[in-house]
Amino acid sequence: MSTSPAIRRYEELLFYAACLCNCWSVVLCVCVCVEVGGCRAGGGGSGRGGGGGGGGMRLSGGRWTWKLSRAMRLVLRRCRTWRRGYNQGSGGAAGELWSYAKLLLRSLYYNSLTNSDTALDCVFEPVYWIVDNVTRWFGVAFVSLVVLLTSSVVVIVYLCVLPIILSTYPAPWVVWHLLCGHWLLVMVVFHYYKATTTHPGRPPKDKSDVPVVSICKKCIIPKPARTHHCSICNTCILKMDHHCPWLNNCVGHLNHRYFFSFCLYMMLACVYCSISSRHMFQEAYNAIEELFKPSPPPFTFRETTSHKAIVFLWVLTSSVAVALGALTLWHGILISRGETSVERHINRKEIRRLKELGKVFRNPYHHGPLTNWKIMFSVEKPSHWVTRVLLPSSHPPMGDGITWDCTYTRKDPMAI
């Protein structure tokens, strides 16, 4: 039986739409059901002459798009047969094939680990794909925005704030502002540059003696402990914390310290700017209000611009200090507990699961708050708190990110 090109094209579009809807497995199951139905009704098919044989020859020799279109036509034809049989009261064959189709679907999708979270992940997979790709492209815009806003704050401080400090403040305060301001600026720029340019670390692919806990279903490589797959970077990350769009980079084993130090020093710099310029902000705000009175003061264009720039500086630094302060506090709590952002969600599920069993969860990577902070900053002796924390340092982190010193025994419950 020949098919017109228009109908064939329409059926190809239907197939492409099904693919876009993430229905590969469903189409596969339906095709298998059709084949099973054809095998069971083989006598009826052979009684129709050579049409069935000719169709089979064309199905095996045509293009792959025509093959799948042919399979979909068979599905539609079978559905019409089922509907006629059901209307005539003979729905036994249709019910049997439907039960077989459900069995196939369950064999493909169901296992002992299936739950509501897995079902929601499957449903929202297209949404996750869109978010991952949008975040990947927006990362460049976010990094540019951070550089632009930071540069604007530095320019305003040098052109508007620093001249007032040098001309009106006492000498000790001038020295303090010069030293503290430039120290914070150097720390912010250094750690942001290192956080954006340092690769977070990926597990080795050519080593067979690496201790692993699972296999990544996307990279198809062994995953060591604390390693997770980043769908935005499309690779596995050692000790992955999260993907930061403001860095356009993942936060992992090799750049976790740079990320936290950047958040900490950026927050301190914003607090320093907002506190140091609070009196200038009040004067600039009052001066701007005077401009809206019937007889405004004769401010020059430079003075008006300086007032607006100081107001912008104070509002921006105060807002960033509040938002970034909350983020820094949250990551500080995670570091004190020996967790990452990903492990926090995993450990919460394990805590609830073990609580129902009457057990207590113990984080195997928690060595105490002080030791966790030493591991975070790679502090091995007291002088390192100055040379590696208070000053710019590009020293590597402790360990290789593959093997970890755990504080559990084999009898303790543990989540990986």
Q: What are 42-65's pLDDT values in tens digits?
A: 444 444 444 444 444 344 444 666
Q: Which residue has the higher pLDDT, 315 or 102?
A: 315
Domain membership flag for residue 139: yes
Distance from the Cα of residue 118 to its chain's centroid = 17
Q: Is residue 27 located within the same domain as residue 156?
A: no
The 3-state DSSP class for residue 396 equals coil
Residue 146 and residue 324: Cα distance in Å, rounded?
13
Prediction pTM value: 0.69
Distance from the Cα of residue 236 to its chain's centroid = 12
Name the least confident of 47-61, 132-146, 321-335.
47-61
Domain membership flag for residue 255: yes
Domain membership flag for residue 415: no
Q: Hey, how many other C-beta atoms are within 10 angstroms of the C-beta on 186?
A: 13
Q: Is residue 31 located within the same domain as residue 180?
A: no
Q: Is residue 23 located within the same domain as residue 105?
A: yes
| Residue whose tokens read 């042919």 | 70
Angle at 356 between CA 350 and CA 362, to 5 degrees: 40
Question: At residue 79, does pLDDT exceed 80?
Answer: no
The residue among 323, 346, 322 whose CA lies nearest residue 334 is 346
Q: Torsions phi, psi of 162, nearest 5? A: -60, -40
Domain count, the chain: 2
Reply yes or no on whether 23 is catalytic: no
The residue among 342, 90, 86, 330 whose CA lies nearest residue 228 is 342
Identify the DSSP state of 161: I
**Residues in CB range of 319: below 8 A, 6 or more apart:** none
Distance from the Cα of residue 350 to its chain's centroid = 21
Q: Is residue 153 located within the same domain as residue 71?
A: no
Q: Is residue 99 located within the same domain as residue 127?
A: no
Domain membership flag for residue 215: no
Q: Is residue 10 located within the same domain as residue 66?
A: yes
Domain membership flag for residue 9: yes
Q: Is residue 81 located within the same domain as residue 174?
A: no
Distance from the Cα of residue 68 to its chain's centroid = 36
Q: Is residue 280 located within the same domain as residue 348?
A: yes
End-to-end Cα spacing for the chain: 58
What integer pLDDT is reported at residue 117 of this predicted model? Answer: 66
Query: Side chain identity at 68, as an amino acid letter?
Result: L
Q: Is residue 261 located within the same domain as residue 338?
A: yes
**Residues in CB range of 404: below 8 A, 6 or more apart:** 225, 226, 364, 365
Kindly give the residue spans of alpha helices, DSSP state H, lying in 198-340: 256-276, 278-290, 301-337
Domain membership flag for residue 261: yes
The catalytically annotated residue of 236, 244, 263, 273 is 244
Hey, what's the torsion of the CAs at 278, 281, 285, 286, to 10 degrees? 70
Question: At residue 174, does pLDDT exceed 90?
Answer: yes
Average confidence score pLDDT of the chain: 79
What integer is the mean pLDDT of 321-327? 96
Residue 239 and residue 341: Cα distance in Å, rounded?
10
Q: Is residue 151 located within the same domain as residue 59?
A: no
Q: Name the packing angle between helices 256-276 and 369-377 (round to 10°).
A: 100
Q: Is residue 172 located within the same domain as residue 318?
A: yes
| Containing structural domain, residue 100 | 5-42+55-86+93-109
Q: Is residue 129 located within the same domain as residue 61?
A: no
Question: At residue 308, does pLDDT exceed 80?
Answer: yes
Domain membership flag for residue 218: no
Domain membership flag for residue 230: no
Name the least confident of 25-29, 188-192, 257-261, 326-330.
25-29
Using pLDDT thresholds of 50, 70 and 90, give the confidence band for residue 411.
very low
